[in-house]
Chains A and B, each alone.
Chain A
Amino acid sequence: MMNCHKIRVAALITVALVLITACGCKKQSPVQPLPASNEVAGWEKTGETRTYTAATLSDYIDGGADQYLKAGFKNVSTSDYKFEGKIEAVADVYVMANADAARTIFEADPSGSAKTVPLGDAARASSQSVVFRRGPFLVRIVAYQETPETPQALQQLGQGIEKRLSK
């Protein structure tokens, strides 16, 4: 009877530790890559940071998840932003297993008419997006509005994220 009680207690402690670990993994990332409001001039962080692990990535990017998982994926942090109250954007920071994995994802998409911009190890920008990689990080920033200011504003937010990643 006493052994049975000890086993139950041990099982409960184990379950509790697993849950605590799992919750911790979901809410915290080793790197906090997304800038706070006005950390980058003009950019307000309008949403909470959400983090997805390998187990939950498909909840975020559905069929896009497989490509990341195959390349070597750890987690992604994402948040909504707004620039000077008029340009809305979403920033994703993918933490890949290593720099090769980040390169694999970065190079998987055709560059098309995108321009090269000075961010990270490699970067490209279009009228409504900036994508760059730095070491094991793959960063994608997408704007919902296409304005003359959008490309420069996205690049500045990218610089703010890169600054955090280099800490």
Chain B
Amino acid sequence: MSDKQNPSRRDFLKASVAGAVALGAGDALAFANVLQPGGPKSRVVIARDAMLRGSGSTIDATRMRALLDRAIEASLGTKDALAAWKQLVHPGQVVGLKVNTIAGRGLSTNVTLVEAITERLQQAGIKPYDIVIWDRTGHELERAGFPLSSAAGKVRCIASDTVGYEDTPEAHGTVSCRLSRILTRTCDVVINVPLLKDHGLAGVTLSMKNMYGVIDNPRNCHDGGCNPAVADVNMLPTIRKKVRFIIGDATSACYHGGPMHKPEYVWQPDSLIMGSDPVALDFTAWQIIESKRAEKGLRTLEAEGRPPRYIATAADAQHQLGTNDPKHITLVKV
């Protein structure tokens, strides 16, 4: 990540407090307020720790927890990370963590990050068994370092290919999809934990595209650079109702060759990108990818014929999933 996009920790907190989004006590309406046209700005937090890996290549779990705390405090406007988590979730709820594991261990949601999230959720009063790490297949989860588990009293890790999909599809616009029963039946609330990646068709993938891992027919949703399908999938009622917050993993990311793992195009921003507006997050992700591509002397995604058009679609009058207007995004770097 360039210095412009991701400054050092000394460049602390550049946001306008006046632009902060005041989120409510965790109900869906509180999040919906963020997305109202003309409403408060959408807050996108980029938190970075240049020493996240110490002097080695493995992420330090203690530093990861501190980075997560710093990010969520900035996201929800608190000075106490636990208070922030308690705004997002409540004891008794089943909280899903929708990770992204299609590219295998080298370019999937980081295990140390997910462990830090599960630890904080438990401290916020969520029972271990009520925390559900999930993705579309068990094979991909295990290859990415998430062993499957449904053991009583422990954090669950389960996959849609074994739990199954609803018989009746939900539809919006161009898409009609059967949703994972993990979303519809198991989870009360979902935190989206995607990974920042270049994408061969969609251009960029972070928060909205990760919902392709929730539906039974993603292969039918890739035409036209995944536009308008990404926006339409995110309009499906159950997704809108349950997916509350996004913790984007940018500890490792790829600026070309995605969404698969091609190490030659991977770099380590050692960052988290966090917020509740998926459009604003994806717009920010796009800028980060373009910045890195420019640094590497690569053409823009537009020049390669694969700009992420679905972002503007998601912001349009028919979708209103969030904002892609920089004037309405408060970018906070901590």
Residues of A in contact with B (beta carbons under 8 Å apart): 58-59, 61-67, 80, 88, 90, 109-110, 112-114, 126-129, 140, 142-144, 146
Contacts and interface: CB of A to CB of B under 8 A. Distances in A.
Given A63-B200, A63-B201, A67-B200, A144 B260 contact: no
Nearest to A57: B219
Nearest to A47: B143
A140 B202 CA distance: 23
Contacts of B102: 61-62
B263 interface: yes
A80 B200 contact: no
Given A64-B258, A143-B263, 15 more contacts: A61-B260, A62-B218, A62-B260, A63-B205, A63-B222, A63-B226, A64-B260, A80-B143, A109-B257, A110-B298, A126-B264, A128-B263, A140-B262, A144-B105, A144-B106
B194 interface: no
In the A-B complex, the 6 residue pairs with the closest CB atoms: A128-B263, A63-B201, A126-B264, A58-B219, A63-B200, A64-B200
A61 B201 CA distance: 11
If over half of B's interface residues share one DSSP class (helix, strand or loop), that class is named, otherwise mixed; here it is loop
Given A114-B264, A127-B263, A58 B222 contact: yes
B7 interface: no
Contacts of A66: 200-201, 222
B96 interface: no
Contacts of B264: 109, 112-114, 126, 128-129
Contacts of A109: 256-257, 262, 264-265
A128 B298 CA distance: 21
Contacts of B258: 63-64
Contact of B263 (A62, A65, A88, A129): A129
Contacts of B226: 63
A45 to B, nearest CB: 15
A43 B243 CA distance: 43
A90 B104 contact: yes
Interface string B262-289: 1111000000000000000000000000
A35 to B, nearest CB: 20
Contact of B57 (A90, A110, A142, A146): A146
Contacts of B105: 88, 144
Given A63-B199, A80-B143, A126-B263, A112 B296 contact: yes
Query: Size class of B's contact patch?
Result: 20 to 34
A160 B202 CA distance: 35
B200 A129 contact: no
A144 B256 CA distance: 18
Nearest to A129: B263
A144 B143 CA distance: 11
Nearest to A112: B264
Interface string B243-262: 00000000000001111111
A114 B262 CA distance: 12
Nearest to B209: A63
A63 B256 CA distance: 12
A128 B200 CA distance: 21
B304 to A, nearest CB: 10
A18 B255 CA distance: 42
Nearest to B203: A63
B262 A63 contact: no
Contact of B262 (A58, A59, A129): A129
B227 to A, nearest CB: 12
A88 B259 CA distance: 20
Contacts of B265: 109, 112
Contacts of A59: 219
Contact of B106 (A58, A61, A142): A142
Contacts of B218: 58, 62
B137 to A, nearest CB: 8
B274 to A, nearest CB: 24
Nearest to A61: B260
B106 A63 contact: no
Contacts of A144: 104-106
